Amino acid sequence: MKQKVTLKQIAKELDVSISTVSKALKDSVEISLDTRQKVKAFAKLYNYKPNNIALSLKNRKTKTIGVIIPEIVHHFFTTVIGGVEKVANEKGYNVIICSSNNSFDKEVINLEMLASGSADGFILSVAKETQLKKDYHHIDETMNQGMPVVLFDRIIDEIVCDKVIIDDAKGAQTATNHLLSVGCRKIAILTTVDYISVGKLRTNGYLRALRAYDIQEDEALILKIEDIDNCEAEISGFLKDKDIDAVFAVNELFAVTAAKVLNEQGKIVPDDVSIIGFTDGILSKHFIPSLTTISQHGEDMGVRAAKLLIDKLEGDDAATEEYRTVIIDTSLIQRQSTKKTKK
């Protein structure tokens, strides 16, 4: 069990100084060709790799981007990470990922840990609990210490920083419009409680679409779900014997659960009831019937977020003071869970 070899050890073995070794490895002309070759051969032999920790300490930057997401078992977030990694790797940055598990405390801990040396900047989607608590001191502090933060998807209006979002309301409107356009009129919505920003926005989009069609909003057709993990019973009760011809679900799980429940209740999707979801994940794609949905283009979000962050990291201080919000277009992906034509 050898230890990692350092400059000092090489220097000692070769009976030269540490600086000579360092320079030789960098092919500095200061060092004679002879010595350079000797050092490099030795370094290769012992598989010398500079210690990143020491470098980070010295350079006061880590060339690492920290990504903190609420749930790692969530397809959308992982596609975002894919986008981040793509850009980061191109620009010579590494990416480290932490999950907050939707816990405020874990979000704080992770952020502080990464902020105290491990990363130069952050790409962050806040935990559900954080949105509920409205406690953003950890994010403020991080920014105050000069580390740029880019918020995405679940953002916080009160925080001034770069942001990458989709137009949730517009996406929801598009979804609802699609249902309307194929002739549905009695459209239920399965959404989250209001403190989840994206849920609320999507609900708004739904309402806006209805109004544009002069359809009266009906409280009885709106279900706000708190406990996502046990939504089946709730959705089942809600949908039972309800006179509807379409369901708009603000996420994938609600959508497939609705499909399942309707199926059990003897309704046929999409003939009796059309279903449209949000987020183009594995479930939507492989479900039977496959689900019409709104794609959030997660990878794009990641790409844009990473670009914003790296711009800030590498920009001269002049540009540093302005913040941008990038809005990613959503798109409708038509599949089998909605009717094709007007009846």
Partner DNA sequence: GAACCTTACGAAAACGTTTGCGTGTGGAAA
Partner DNA sequence: TTTCCACACGCAAACGTTTTCGTAAGGTTC
Using CB under 7 A as the binding rule, whether residue 113 contacts DNA is answered as: no
Q: Which is nearer to DNA, 22 or 290 (CB)?
A: 22
Size of the site for DNA (CB under 7 A): 31
Among 3, 216, 230, 341, binds a copy of itself (CB under 8 A): 3
| 112 binds a copy of itself, rule: CB under 8 A | yes
Q: Which does residue 144 bind out of DNA, a copy of itself, none, counting CB within 5 to 8 angstroms by kind?
A: a copy of itself
What is the smallest separation between the CB atom of 303 and a copy of itself, expressed in angstroms? 15
- Cβ nearer to a copy of itself, comparing 173 with 257: 257
- Asked if 113 is part of the footprint of a copy of itself (rule: CB under 8 A), the reply reads yes
Closer Cβ to a copy of itself, 137 or 342, answer by number: 137
Nearest of 68, 147, 157 to residue 108 by alpha carbon: 68
90 neighbors 302 (Cβ within 8 angstroms): no
CA 167 – CA 187 distance, rounded (Å)? 21
Q: Residue 108 and residue 92: Cα distance in Å, rounded?
A: 27
Site map for DNA, 59-98, x if CB under 7 A? Answer: -x--------------------------------------
Q: Does 25 sit near DNA (CB under 7 A)?
A: yes
Q: According to the 3-state scheme, what is the secondary structure of the chain?
A: CCCCCCHHHHHHHHCCCHHHHHHHHCCCCCCCHHHHHHHHHHHHHCCCCCCHHHHHHHHCCCCEEEEEECCCCCHHHHHHHHHHHHHHHHCCCEEEEEECCCCHHHHHHHHHHHHHHHCCEEEECCCHHHHHHCCCHHHHHHHHCCCCEEEECCCCCCCCCEEEEECHHHHHHHHHHHHHHCCCCCEEEEEECCCCHHHHHHHHHHHHHHHHCCCCCCHHHEEEECCHHHHHHHHHHHHCCCCCCEEEECCHHHHHHHHHHHHHCCCCCCCCCEEEEECCCHHHHHCCCCCEEEECCHHHHHHHHHHHHHHHHHCCCCHHHCCCEEEECCEEECCCCCCCCCC
The one segment of 2-10, 31-39, 126-134, 152-160 that binds a copy of itself by CB under 8 A? 2-10
Q: Is 212 in the site for DNA (CB under 7 A)?
A: no
Which range of residues in 8-16, 210-218, 292-300, 302-310 is near DNA by CB under 7 A?
A: 8-16
User: What six digits make up the tokens of 294?
Assistant: 């709104």
Assess 32 for contact with a copy of itself (CB under 8 A): no
CB 317 within 8 A of CB 101: no
Euclidean distance between CA atoms 234 and 230, whole angstroms: 8
Map the footprint of a copy of itself across residues 235-294, applying CB under 8 A: 253, 256-257, 259-260, 263, 282-283, 286-288
Q: Which stretch binds DNA (CB under 7 A): 17-25, 169-177, 188-196, 287-295?
A: 17-25
Question: Does residue number 97 form part of the binding site for a copy of itself (CB under 8 A)?
Answer: yes
Piece of 12-20, 137-145, 202-210, 235-243 that binds a copy of itself (CB under 8 A): 137-145
Within residues 320-339, the interface with a copy of itself by CB under 8 A covers 320
Which positions touch a copy of itself (CB under 8 A)? 1-4, 47, 49-57, 62, 64, 72-73, 75, 78-79, 81-82, 85, 89, 94-99, 101, 106, 110, 112-113, 115-118, 141, 144-146, 253, 256-257, 259-260, 263, 282-283, 286-288, 317, 320
Which positions touch DNA (CB under 7 A)? 4, 6-8, 15-20, 22-23, 25-26, 29-35, 48-51, 53-55, 57-58, 60
